[in-house]
Structure 1
Amino acid sequence: MPLSYNWQRTKNVPYNLFGNKMLNRVLFQRMDNSPLIIFRIFFGILISLESFGAIATGWVKRNLIDPTHFFPFIDFEWLHPIPGNGMYYYFVIMGILGICIALGLKYRVSMIAFTFMWSATYLMQKTAYNNHYYLLILISLLMCFFPAHRSRSVDVKLNPTLEANSMFAYVKWFIVLQLLIVYTYASIAKMYGDWLDFSMIKVLMQPRKDYWLVGELLQQLWVHKIIGVAGIVFDLLIIPALLYKKTRKTAFILSIFFHLFNSIVFQIGIFPYLALAFSVFFFDPETIRSIFFKSKTPYVPTVLSSPNYRNGLLMVAGLYFLFQVLLPVRHYIIEDDVLWTEEGHRMSWRMMLRSRTGKGNFMAIDEHTNEIYRIDPKNYLTKAQLRKVYSYPDFAWQFAQYIKNNFKKDNKDVAIFLKNSEISINGKPYKPFIDPKTNLAKERWKPFKHHTWILPSNP
């Protein structure tokens, strides 16, 4: 993927395989690179805080050290946490890489290394799944190819020939398009019954009733209505409002309030601050330069030109964003309601939409002797994993495979059943969930198809 920058002016290409002058003007005009430079600094600081914070808050211990069994993304079972205290060192390295990124020290190597390490962490366990972790992978991937080290970096200090005060506009528009996809799908996903009648907001706020000063306020119906409507409207309109000059400042102020509210009430890590950091791409580059880099040489526009990798970039970028647009809607081609089945939920920007609890009994039956074994998941799993294994079908399936393989070590072939399986979604009455007659040990997982052993949501 030839995305490295050629800083010499290239031949003007007004018409070619991928369009005309308009496309060139939008994506390949040069602009001041101050937004990208300051975003690199913010980004590096935030991912460093995320990495060190995961250690300080016990997240690493709870999810990557204490468990004796892990639930990786299906087909990534070969990814395992480093034994012992290895994951502490792993996250320290990621924290250091974040500092290097902020400083622009060996930027490209640091960015690529962090992307691989963070992606591996994401894939090796999903008990603590968060949409924001997935977004961090995508932004990190894009940043690997962006020239964010061309100014105000140690790399430039060591090699002054790297320095530049401009970038192609596609850097900005790729970030904007990625955010537009995220926020738009997040808004659309909220347009369903439990959000529109505000019952889901009530579920979200109940654990926060003991919050100092605002706990009782957050239990009020009128507050739930404001939060519910604001969640849909904000996600749907914030990107267009930031792009439109007349509404930009107001949208930014509302964005600060919205994301600080989420940070305080929901305690969702660095995402609210990362979302605010993205704002630098919406303001005029000269404004960003004058605020953060007063001594930086202003960029003077030159003749419009396209880089020699233009067509290749557009082809790869087109495929990337097509994937980003299609993946979140895959649940529409899968039978039944994704809120019930969870099939197609992850990586679809379906944020804070449901609360699931489940119960049931795992049973293993020796296929040769018919001997019955009662399986108590408490003997294998942490409390967080227990909550998932009864209420999420992929967790139940993976646990069945794990139990089957354990019996195989003793040369026993067993069938695994989940009896009396029931789940409650958003505090509603329990309903039967997993077919008790299905041998989960023999079922295959189909990532883009419905699993018939998940009982219908409306039988």
Structure 2
Amino acid sequence: MMLKKLFEPIDNAPLIIFRIFLGFLLAAETFGAILTGWVKRVLIEPEFTFSHIGMEWLQPLPGYGMYVYFCLMGICGTLIMIGYKYRFSLGLFTFLWTGVYLMQKTSYNNHYYLLILVCLIMLFLPANKYASFDVKNKPEILQHTMPRWCSVVMIFQVAIVYFFATVAKFYPGWLDGSFTKIILSNTEFETFKDLFGQHWFHLFIAYSGIGFDMLIVPLLLWRKTRTIAFLAAISFHIFNAIFLQIGIFPFFALSFIVFFYPPEKIRSLFFKKKIPVEYSEPVIGNKSVLLYFFVPFFILQLILPIRHHFIKGDVLWTEEGHRLSWRMMLRQRQGYTNFKIIDKKTQMEIPYDYMKKLTPKQRGFVGSNPDGIWQMAQIIKKEFASKGTDVSIYVSSNASINGGTFKTLIDPETDMALAKWDYFFHNEWILLYDSQGNIVR
């Protein structure tokens, strides 16, 4: 009965308007990245980027190539919005955006990852079957309905994001308002500085964040609270857009709400000329996409955010298992790192100022993140190897979480030139501490 319900035909208005919103936001994100200087700062000015580990070969195009790259993505976003060559345009955008995501991680937002997931989902959905140039060019593909599961998968995707975002906030640095104090103190709005400096307001924002993430999906699903939840979502995301300046994510998150309202309501709001659907059509088949793509797709998404529980140490400290886990805006890392380079042949220390090679943002990444430190060590090793010098690399690194006590992050006795990166378990060269602050071996 449940499976039959999933394949019932419903009005496809929510999916069609979401495609239009999505295409607009993709174009805004990519053209905006050029206009705001993000592409220049993050991908053109650096001598190299810190790609995701294992993807070090993936580096930005030389010269002004990344401007062309982002213009192409912006064009793809526009074509998605108008529904022209929909699957080709969306597939190309997904490929190019995934490349950008993998080629640098010093400027990281969770919505970069969410965009990849949503684009993958949309590749399997019939989002070009109405109000599109594809229909204009090929009228026989016109459809007014879609299977109900097209809405269900989008709702489930956003529910995963909010659920794990809620769970991640249950740690002392969030519950006592320490982290919200840090992010609010960075406001550029002088009018609100007094308010943002109040401890009660730090707690209000902290617990409002938990409450919103925890309840927004259930409240949107229940008809009696849906409109109240919608208004709360607008307030929450507009606040984030203005004061936290996190790009398109607030508007992207709001666009999912169209899947929570009855399809007929969305049709009456956005497609007044669209004929009402009479649900007399047979149940739509094609279970293979749901069973063989979406079931594994969501199982993987339920596994990735909990993997840090199976890795030794606190993820807030080690960062192992942090990414792909919806741990959104949870902590501030500070740190400083020095590299000691030893010529293995002469045992003499070689002076080396690694900071000259990095942008300010990259310096912060290498200064406080274990994976950044490891990758920088491999870059230094490769540089000296190209000159015929075999080196050992020792690190002096101290880090602090949310303005807390600085502690040694990396084992100073480990030769980082020989250290390996473990993708699935704890890297023993990252020092761990007990509740009293003592090193745990």
Task: Please indicate the TM-score interval, normalised by the length of the shorter structure.
Answer: over 0.9
Q: Does 1:112 align with 2:91?
A: yes
Q: 1:233, 1:259 → 2: CA distance?
A: 14
Q: 2:347, 2:288 → 1: CA distance?
A: 63
Deviation at 1:225, TM superposition (A): 1.4
Paired letter, 2:219:
A
Q: 1:73, 1:423 → 2: CA distance?
A: 21
Note the alpha carbon deviations across 1:115-143, whole angstroms, 9 max, x for none: 00000000000010111100011001111
Q: 1:383, 1:306 → 2: CA distance?
A: 54
- The TM-score with structure 1 as length reference comes to 0.93
Q: 2:224, 2:82 → 1: CA distance?
A: 34
Contact persistence 1:362–1:374 (CA under 8 A) = no
Within 5 A, what are the aligned runs for 1:137-156?
137-156=116-135
Q: Does 1:297 align with 2:275?
A: yes
Deviation at 1:312, TM superposition (A): 5.1
Contact persistence 1:33–1:285 (CA under 8 A) = yes
Q: 2:30, 2:284 → 1: CA distance?
A: 38
Q: 2:75, 2:44 → 1: CA distance?
A: 21
Note the alpha carbon deviations across 1:409-456, whole angstroms, 9 max, x for none: 11111111112x111110112111111111111111111110111111
Q: 2:280, 2:330 → 1: CA distance?
A: 48
Equivalent in the alignment of 1:438: 414
- Determine which of 296, 301, 305 is the counterpart of 1:324: 301
Q: What is the total number of aligned residue pairs between the two structures?
A: 435
Deviation at 1:298, TM superposition (A): 1.4
- Determine which of 200, 224, 241 is the counterpart of 1:222: 200
Identity %: 49
Equivalent in the alignment of 2:265: 287
Equivalent in the alignment of 1:171: 150
Deviation at 1:218, TM superposition (A): 1.4
Q: Does 1:447 align with 2:415?
A: no
Deviation at 1:293, TM superposition (A): 0.4
Equivalent in the alignment of 1:10: none
Paired letter, 2:257:
S
Q: Does 1:202 align with 2:181?
A: yes
Larger deviation, residues 310-319 vs 86-95: 310-319
Contact persistence 1:361–1:418 (CA under 8 A) = yes
- Determine which of 360, 364, 385 is the counterpart of 1:383: 360
In structure 2, the gaps of 5 or more residues are none
| Aligned CA-pair RMSD | 1.0
Contact persistence 2:11–2:263 (CA under 8 A) = yes
Q: Does 1:33 align with 2:12?
A: yes
- Determine which of 320, 325, 346 is the counterpart of 1:348: 325
Paired letter, 2:402:
N
Q: Does 1:184 align with 2:163?
A: yes
Paired letter, 1:44:
G
Equivalent in the alignment of 1:161: 140
Q: 2:109, 2:219 → 1: CA distance?
A: 26
Q: Does 1:71 align with 2:50?
A: yes
Structure 1 stretches of 4+ moved >4 Å:
none
Contact persistence 2:23–2:79 (CA under 8 A) = yes
Q: 2:74, 2:393 → 1: CA distance?
A: 42
Contact persistence 2:9–2:284 (CA under 8 A) = no
Q: Does 1:101 align with 2:113?
A: no
Larger deviation, residues 369-378 vs 158-167: 369-378
Q: 1:58, 1:343 → 2: CA distance?
A: 31
Q: 1:125, 1:111 → 2: CA distance?
A: 22
Within 5 A, what are the aligned runs for 1:222-301?
222-301=200-279
Q: 1:239, 1:399 → 2: CA distance?
A: 41
Deviation at 1:267, TM superposition (A): 0.5
Secondary structure at 1:318's aligned position in 2? helix
Secondary structure at 2:71's aligned position in 1? helix
Secondary structure at 2:21's aligned position in 1? helix
Q: 1:205, 1:431 → 2: CA distance?
A: 25
Deviation at 1:311, TM superposition (A): 4.1
Secondary structure at 2:191's aligned position in 1? coil
In structure 1, the gaps of 5 or more residues are 1-20
- The TM-score with structure 2 as length reference comes to 0.97
Deviation at 1:213, TM superposition (A): 2.1
